Every structure is written in structure tokens, then in C-alpha cells.
Amino acid sequence: MAINVAMRVNYNYLPQQFAEGSTLARDIERDIVEELHRGLFTLGPWVEKFEQAICDKYGVKHCIGVNSGTDALILSLKAMGVGQGDVVLTTANSFVATVGAIVAVGATPRFVDVLSDYSMDWTQALHRHVKAVVPVHLTGLAKNFTGFPLVINDACQAIGAEYDGQSVATFQRISAFSLHPLKNLHVLGDGGFVTTDDDGYADTIRLLRNHGLADRDHCVMPGVNSRLDSLHAIAGWHSLKTIDETNEKRRRNAARYDEGLKGITDVFIPLRNPRALPVYHTYVVTVGNRDNLQAFLAERGIDTKVHYSIPIHLQKGYAYLGYKAGDLPQTEFQADHQVSLPVHEYLSEGDIEYVIDQIKIFYHYEPSVGI
């Protein structure tokens, strides 16, 4: 069969989002230019405006804008008193930033395995003697974990996700979010924020992000420079206006993949929990012969990714933790077999159908016909 070299399905969508003449690009450019003339680049009205918009939208009392999703996790851990010598439980199928944040506060990460939907196997976490737990709401699938006094939600991939009708921004005491350019809601570089209903945690994180300064002249605790700047806040505020539309389009794309790929023996689609409203930061399936599938799709203009090919517990940088191959079998199996398909909001129906068709061709899939 001839390859359609003219067809192209990109994984990255940023050029389309900020295409010349787009309403989003025009609004951001206008307000950035105005802010350049004001010169209020550090915290200030736009950061406050963005933070309040998050609070209003997701029904949370406090939003604190910070420099990155990683810093959102670090400052959350610090605010909750996690530090030197403490043990923090998490999963190894995330981006390394999750564990890097734990190590950055002096704590020791320990891992539990994951379920088939890529989320923490909570049964393995119960009754473990740890200071805190950091569940990762991977791929934009939220789960409201309970049973531990200290839970810091790594919701960096899950803006807008819900479980039992509750926003992940209001889970337990603290949730940390990323505004990285490839997140569903993002700014023009690195950025992040923390949400909480706890006044004390909110006050502490605001101090920590700004050198521990209560005002210009009084430092009340050690802190760092982790402020969300005004220009990024402008981009985040304007992007927030369309986040519901973005997430809904991703859900529709994911639903079409689910339907179109159903029945292919070599493609495993995670079970969809009706209690969850996911946002599909990524659309991940577990497949047979992954590397050859990726090469096949690339030849046909379809860009795919792997998140993440080496689990954190097997990374060289964390060898000192003492884990070895076989310790987290489900995590390791998924790392060897997962592939992320394009799912962003700029895909057309034709794009989705093309990806599905090419995967069926690769696996020689022919639907059974009833007699």
C-alpha cells in the first residue's frame, strides 16, 4: 500500500495555537505590550488577576503562582513540613520532576507500583510508614486518594480534571500544577501554581516563593525566588478562557480513539472510570511491537511520543535509592509498551481517523463479522 507522504499529524500544536492573527495571540500580544510600558514584571496585578481567575473557576480558596510545576511541588512539600530524613511515597512512571522535588527538600522518595490506568496502586501505599504521599494524576486522569494525613497532589498534567464531580484543584490540602508550554493550560515558558483551601499553607507558600519576605524590608523565613511573572500571567489568564473547550475537544478525540482502536488485540486501552472526568494531557495506550509501530506511523507522517521510556526507579540519577529491574513490574511493563498518540485540540476528525486506520493496517486488523 502506498504511503500518503502528504499527510501530517503533529504531536506538537503550539504553532497553531499562536498562529498569526489568532484571537489568543492578538490578545496576549496587546496586553504584554501594555505591561511593557507599565514595567510591573514581578508579581503585581496580572499575577493576582490570574490567581483569582483560577480560584473562581475551580472553587478553591487560594491559588499561588510560582515559577514552574516543579517549584509548585517543592514549595508545597516545604509548606507541609516535609524535609530532611522524611520518606515520601510516589510512583516511578512520572516525569523525573516529581521525584526531583522530593529530593530537593531533603526527603527520600520511595515507590509503589501502578494500576493498568497508570495511576498509583493505592492498596500498596496503605499502611506504609511515610511522612507524605505524592500521587501523580498522570495523563490528566484525576483520582482522589485518601487515607494519609499528608497528600500533595502532583496535578501538573490534570488542570480541569475531576473525580466524583470535584476538581483536582480542591483535593485534600494541596495540589500542584504546571503551566509548561505543552500542558493543556500553559504560559509562554515555565510556570506553575499551587491551589489550597488552607490559609496557613497559602501564606507559607507565598512567603517561600518570594524570599520569605513579609514586605520589602522584613524576611520572616528562608525562601527562594519562585515567582510567576506578569507576562506569563497574561498568557495564562487569556488561555484560561478556553480551557474548558480545549479539554472537551481532547475528550472527544480520546473517545474516538477508544472506539476506533477497540478490538485490536495488540492495543490495550485503559478502563475508563465513569467517576472520573479526565482531560487527556496525553492519550496513552499499551501496545505490542511498539518501536516498529512508531517507525511505521512516522513513515506515514504521524508523530508519536513515549511517556516515559525509563521509569524513575531505573534512572541512573536515582540508582542510590537501591531499586532494580523487576521491583515495579507493572510500571516497567508499561514503560516498555506505552505509546502516546496525538490528542490535542487542533486535530481534525480526519486526522484522528487517519491515525486509527494506520494503526489497524500495522496490526493487520480486520473486524470480525457476525454470521
Query: How far apart are the C-alpha atoms of 142 and 100, rounded to whole Å?
Result: 22
Query: Domain spanning 23-112+119-240 has what CATH number?
Result: 3.40.640.10
Domain with CATH 3.90.1150.10 in the chain: 243-362
**What residue ranges of the chain are covered by domains with CATH 3.40.640.10?**
23-112+119-240
What span, in angstroms and rounded, lies between the C-alpha atoms of 12 and 164? 31
End-to-end, the C-alpha distance of the chain in Å comes to: 29
Measured CA to CA, the distance from residue 196 to residue 208 in angstroms comes to 15
Q: Is the peptide bond before 363 cis (omega within 30 degrees of 0)?
A: no
CB contact at 8 A, 185 and 179: yes
Residues 281 and 158 sit within 8 Å (Cβ to Cβ):
yes
Q: Hey, what's the cell of 223? A: 525562601
Q: What is the pLDDT of residues 36-46, one digit of tens each?
A: 998 888 888 99
Range list of β-strands (E), the chain: 62-66, 87-91, 108-112, 132-133, 152-154, 162-163, 166-167, 174-178, 192-196, 213-215, 218-219, 267-268, 276-277, 283-287, 338-341
68 CA to centre of own chain: 12
Task: Quote the CA–CA distance of 28 and 187 in Å, as a whole number.
Answer: 10
CATH of domain 243-362: 3.90.1150.10
DSSP 3-state of 48: helix
With 0-12 / 13-18 / 19 or more C-beta atoms within 10 angstroms meaning exposed / middle / buried, residue 1 is exposed
User: Quick one: pLDDT at residue 17?
Assistant: 83
Which residue is it, cell 504584554? 32
The type of residue at 339 is V
What is the torsion angle, in degrees rounded to the nearest 10, for the CA atoms of residue 171, residue 173, residue 179 and residue 182?
-40
pLDDT for residue 1: 45
| Burial of 204: CB neighbours in 10 Å, binned 0-12, 13-18, 19+ | buried
Q: List phi, psi (to 5°) of 215.
A: -155, -170
| Residue segments in the chain with a per-residue pLDDT below the cut of 70 | 1-5, 367-371
Is 90 in a helix, a strand, or coil? Answer: strand
- Give 225's strand partners: 210
d(CA 79, CA 196): 11
Give the distance, in angstroms, between the CA of residue 36 and the centroid of all CA atoms in the same chain: 30
User: Residue 304's closest CA among 1, 8, 16, 4?
Assistant: 8
Return the SS3 of 238: helix
